[in-house]
Amino acid sequence: MPYWLDIEQKKCRFLGGKKCRFLGGKGGDIVGLAAEYFDDGSSFRAIEPLSINPESLTDFSLFECHPLKNGKYRFRCLLVDSNSIPKARLMEMLNSWDLVYIHKKQNANYRKYLKNNLDFILKHEGIDVKNKTGTLIDLATEVVQESFAANFASRQDVNRIIENIEKLIAQAMDFISDIESLTGIANLIGHDYQTHTHSIKVGWLTATFINANPDLFEAKTDAQLRDLMIQAAAAGFLHDIGKIKIPKGVINKKGKLNNLEYVLMQSHTAYSISLLFESKLPRASMQTILYHHENEDGSGYPCGLCGDQIPLMAKICHIADVFDALTSKRPYKDPRTPFEALQIMTGENPFLETLRQFEIEVRENPKIPLTAIVRDDYEAKLRRLREREILEEEAKKRVEARTKLRDQGMAHCFDTKLLKRFILTINRSENFDLSGLL
């Protein structure tokens, strides 16, 4: 029978046919929700009972679920009026439930609750790291997607987006800066590359690195270090925002980019700064976003900076960016393991001069420096078509050659000492075994 057993008052409150009340609400009935449902499960979503903060109850109801023989489920409302429940009893109930469910009609209420209570969830010792990571990635993806969907028409729009990102990061900072949270990133290694998730992981890795290596920075207090981590994480979340200006055909291409597409993609760093130019982002974040593709030897973009010309935070973001890109699955390549990725990143490239020549060729002339001449007795139209095919085949070969050369070693791209510290940092998590690289 659908009821809530109130031990303190030694009575049962039968729910049959009544409207359920909000869990933590002010006693108002839930519009459109019944006490009991027979459903295939599509109208409900499971949530972690321990994620409910007794100090911050909100307007959504909790249901229990019982499987039936016909492939459907019986969902019963667990609570009628939470205002009469002592906090200790409520906590006892939450700890006793394995899973509870909310109706999707109240999903917006639940997501609002999550945003306001993320800090509580991430600090809760009883919630598994995997579940914490899922909640963080889910909410962070939403806020990053919002930034990618924005039109950036006004300074107010830009600053609202940044405030939302910084608010979420501030709540999550203690979690993402902890070495143990790298378990969450390890669980995401090898997944399909998604710009939003990639941006979150880059910000996460950068903040974790800064927290583990405070001696590299001038922060004199814990508060200053925390502000620096928030700036770094925000830069990571937004480092690819300029890609909204790149043609979708290039962004979503299922294969490797040709020379022209490669040059177009490189413009995303400058586009990012143009979109965020009037924002309240601090200088360190802006520099990180602009320079996160600069290489230690000066072969990067957009400005060809080298060595100490590249801001420290941008160098760290670059390492995190490449590490996540290499360990992600792409349509044209399988993901590397963390060990394999860092082998490439730390390796000296024996074909470095050839690779540099390829990169110069791409920047200075997006079209390949070749001319195809077909001398057979084709008709003019067929001859031009064949010449074009030859050029496209050659361009494809050069793109593949450039990619293979780059994967032979990337040590020239990074500050050697910082890269070693990065390996030491993530190696402190039991989910990464990189001892063979040290």
Query: Which CATH number belongs to the domain containing residue 132 in this structure?
Result: 1.10.3210.10
Q: Which domain holds residue 341?
A: 117-348+409-438
Is residue 137 located within the same domain as residue 262?
A: yes
Phi, psi of 12 (to 5 degrees): -105, 140
pLDDT at 391: 63
Is residue 81 located within the same domain as residue 180?
A: no
pLDDT at 57: 66
Q: What is the pLDDT of residues 104-126, one digit of tens each?
A: 988 888 888 899 999 999 999 99
Is residue 132 located within the same domain as residue 155?
A: yes
pLDDT at 325: 92
HSE-up (13 A, CA, CB side) for residue 292: 34
- In whole angstroms, what is the distance from residue 392 CA to residue 351 CA? 24
- In whole angstroms, what is the distance from residue 168 CA to residue 438 CA? 35
Q: Which two tokens stand for residue 184?
A: 């969450």
Is residue 141 located within the same domain as residue 17?
A: no
Last residue of a domain, one of 116, 147, 166: 116
Radius of gyration of the chain measured on its C-alpha atoms:
27
> Are 250 and 263 a contacting pair, CB within 8 Å?
no
Last residue of a domain, one of 116, 141, 174: 116
Is residue 176 located within the same domain as residue 304?
A: yes
Is residue 10 located within the same domain as residue 39?
A: yes
Is residue 131 located within the same domain as residue 208?
A: yes
Last residue of a domain, one of 116, 140, 162: 116
Q: How many C-beta atoms surround the C-beta of residue 250 within 10 A? A: 16
Report CA 254 to chain centroid distance, whole Å: 21
One-letter amino acid of 34 = A
Is residue 372 located within the same domain as residue 256?
A: no
Is residue 301 located within the same domain as residue 394?
A: no
pLDDT at 331: 75
> Are 6 and 13 a contacting pair, CB within 8 Å?
yes
Residues of the chain with pLDDT under 50: 1-31
Q: How many domains does the chain have?
A: 3
Alpha-carbon distances of 303 from 26, 294, 359, 396, rounded to whole Å: 58, 7, 14, 27
